[in-house]
Each structure stands twice: as structure tokens, then as C-alpha cells.
Amino acid sequence: MERHNTAISMATLLFAFSSCVLAAPDNQRQAQLQHLLDQDCGACHGLYLTGGLGPPLTHEALAGKSRDSLIATVTLGRPGSAMPGWAALLAPDDIRWLVDRLLQGKPAP
């Protein structure tokens, strides 16, 4: 009986752990994030992210910038500038996905 319970709680732990680590946005969430990137981020950074009120976020423009600092910028915003923080609207995994998407380069339309 004792062993049986241990096995169950191990399985539960493992499940909780893997759902934490593997919480990348699913396909539907990715589509929503892509829409946000075009509409909301695009409102300031340009529809093709080539710059507007905000600086360009193209693959070339971001080359050499640290992923962590870009994640921090999107999460917290840049105080004193128009760049808002997105922590209230987006999960950390969403923000990581967006930054990786930007670093990979948004495909031309």
C-alpha cells in the first residue's frame, strides 16, 4: 500500500513538473500572439516591424542584442519611454515566444 502511494505521488510530481517545463504556447496561443505582434506591437513598431514610434524589431535590428534583455524590455517596458510592460497581459512563456520569434525574423508578408 505504501509503495503504491509513492508511485502515484511520483507520477503526479512528474506530471506537474513536465507541464511546467513544457508550457510553450500551443498553436492557438501562437496565432493569438502573432496577431498581437502585428496589431499591438505593430502599432508602434510598424506593421512590418521596421520601426515607427518604436525602433525596428527586425532580425537585422535585433542582431547581437541579448535575448534576456529583450525579454526584460517586453516584460517590464522601458520606463520613461512609450514602451509599455506586458507582464499583466502576457505569460512569461508568451513573452519568450515573442522574443524568439523576433530574433528568428518575422517572415516578410
Question: What is the distance between the alpha carbons of residues 88 and 35, in angstroms, rounded to a whole number?
Answer: 18
When asked if residue 74 is in the footprint of ligand HEC (CB under 6 A), the reply is yes
When asked if residue 49 is in the footprint of ligand HEC (CB under 6 A), the reply is no
Task: Provide, rounded to whole angstroms, the least separation between the CB of residue 2 and ligand HEC.
Answer: 50
When asked if residue 78 is in the footprint of ligand HEC (CB under 6 A), the reply is yes
Tell me the CA end-to-end span of the chain in Å, nearest whole number: 61
Burial class (CB in 10 A: 0-12, 13-18, 19+), 25: middle
Task: Provide, rounded to whole angstroms, the least separation between the CB of residue 107 and ligand HEC.
Answer: 16
When asked if residue 98 is in the footprint of ligand HEC (CB under 6 A), the reply is yes
